[in-house]
Amino acid sequence: MMRLGKYLLLDRVNQGGMADIFLAKSFGYEGADRVLAVKCIRSDIASDAGFVSMFVDEAKLTVQLDHVNIARTYDLGRIRDTYFIAMEHVLGRDLRATLDRANTQGQRLDYGIVLSIVDQVLEALDYAHRKADLTGVPLRIVHRDVSPHNVLISYAGEVKLIDFGIAKATTQVSPSSTGA
């Protein structure tokens, strides 16, 4: 366990090439605590200004999104050399793990379930693309990384799209690379 400002990082739940995801807890007044996910830029990448800009862009973009099929972003911060995003923790599995488990057991997902997952992901993408800023200017967000590991399925059956790290919007500062 490690303290990161107002968050207690309980356990690393995922390790990526550029960031680590931790199960964390924030402490609220009178025990109004919250379990969430905290995404931290890896220390060996934190000095890369371009990556930090993309990370900040992701948080500034996703904090504006309030949709049942998109994991919420609550906070963006920096403590010393650690940049982080605090997000909704979805208790469940990603679609990649769900598909792998079904394959291992020699099963297929029910077509009705598959269609429901696809429908909810499309609802999230449609909302993000149609989202406007506070002045009514369309953001035209394009996710650009819809893949099974970025689709979370909660144990209650909720579908949540995550990781807008390479998403693009009309308001972003960091440019796209050709072919990226």
- Hey, which residues does 15 pair with through a beta bridge? 20
- Sign for the pseudo-dihedral over CA of 2, 8, 13, 16: negative
Residue 159 confidence (pLDDT): 98
Domains for the chain: give ranges and CATH numbers.
2-88 (3.30.200.20), 92-161 (1.10.510.10)
Q: What is the pTM of this model?
A: 0.86
Alpha helical stretches, state H, the chain: 49-62, 95-104, 111-130
pLDDT at 164: 81
Q: Spell out the per-residue pLDDT of the chain, length 180, in tens.
A: 899 999 999 999 998 878 999 999 998 888 889 999 999 999 888 889 988 988 898 888 899 999 999 999 999 999 998 999 999 999 999 999 999 999 999 999 999 999 999 999 999 999 999 999 889 999 888 888 899 999 999 999 999 999 887 667 665 544 544 444
pLDDT value, residue 170: 63
At 165 the pLDDT is 73
**What one-character DSSP code corresponds to residue 136?**
S
124 near 70, Cβ under 8 Å? yes
Q: Indicate which residues carry an active-site annotation.
A: 145
User: ∠ CA 144-88-16 to the nearest 5 degrees?
Assistant: 50
* Alpha carbon distance 169, 180 (integer Å): 15
